[in-house]
Amino acid sequence: MSKITKTAVVSVVGRPNVGKSTLTNKLVGQKVAIVSSKPQTTRTRITGVLCRGETQYVLLDTPGLHKPRSRLGDFMCKVVTETVSEVDVAALVVEPIANIGPAEETLIAQIKQNHMPSILVINKIDTVRKEELLAVIAAYAAVHEFEAIIPISARTGEGVGEFLDEVDKFALEGPQLFPDDMVSDQPERQLAAEIVREKMLRLLDREVPHGVAVGIERWNERDDGLIEIHAVIYCEKASHKGIIIGKQGAMLKEIGQQARIDMERMLDTKVYLELWVKVKEGWRNNQYQMRNFGYEGE
């Protein structure tokens, strides 16, 4: 029986590459959000769910706030600003740099405008000296009165427990929002598509992976437990298609092998994965195509 008596909904916001998805995955205890060193890895709002003690924590991992250059970029930024205003507490994740950038300024303004309780989370503390950290704390404390400032390393887990302790102060009495065994609201098909995209972000250069979307065309669970997944990678240019496939199909094979390993871990069964590549020019600025890939609201 669940002993959950309260819930805390927290938005995890910040600019690209500050470690929001790494933090969400670390808290949940498994991968629910893909991670890469490239900006704009997360495109939609991803919900991570964690139960600890009497509290269910609902973590809303958002895209990094950036200057949009396409309709997809506009959608991603809208997700961030909307998510800030509809939670119990906002967690602003920043890097340990004593300089407040435009994205941070925008998010702090949004937090103030919505009179939103907020926690400053300074990530990547394993990469700086203590004196540098004090300068970062001072810079942010001068512009906004955060309910708490928590230095963490999402990679190692240092400070993550203290972060949850602070979030717990904003938990509200009431029934849990998700079942005990649920770690994300994303369907398995969506998680599988995101895993393929993560491997492309890690294996491919520069602009190519930003112009891709992945659709799951077939998902067949066989009697022997094996899951057959047929996925299509859509890219914006014919030249990108060649790069994704690679010489004699080597790159596509590598993407498929790495994705299959992660899918088997996630689904806890053997996976047969087949990948195709198709060109859909300009899909990031096409409302119909974006909706097809799950990047547009009603």
φ and ψ of 261, to 5 deg: -60, -45
List, in sequence order, every residue forming a beta bridge with 234; answer none if it has no partner.
Answer: 213, 278
Measure the CA angle with vertex 21, ends 245 and 226; round to 5°: 55
Tell me how far apart the alpha carbons of residues 25 and 3 are, in angstroms, rounded to a whole number.
23
Cβ atoms 166, 119 nearer than 8 A: yes
Number of residues written out for the chain? 298
What's the pTM value of the predicted model, to 2 decimals? 0.74
Classify 117 as helix, strand or coil: coil
CA 232 to chain centre: 21
pLDDT in tens, the chain (298 residues): 458 899 999 989 888 889 988 999 899 888 777 676 655 555 567 788 999 999 999 998 876 666 656 676 676 667 666 666 678 999 999 999 999 999 899 899 988 988 889 999 999 999 999 889 999 999 999 999 999 999 999 999 999 999 999 999 999 998 888 888 888 877 888 889 989 988 998 898 766 777 888 999 999 999 999 999 999 999 988 999 999 999 999 999 999 999 999 999 988 899 999 999 999 988 888 887 877 777 765 3
- Find tokens 């250059």 and name the residue: 69
Taken in order of first residue, the domains within the chain and their CATH numbers are: 6-173 (3.40.50.300), 188-292 (3.30.300.20)
Tell me how far apart the alpha carbons of residues 52 and 235 are, in angstroms, rounded to a whole number.
41
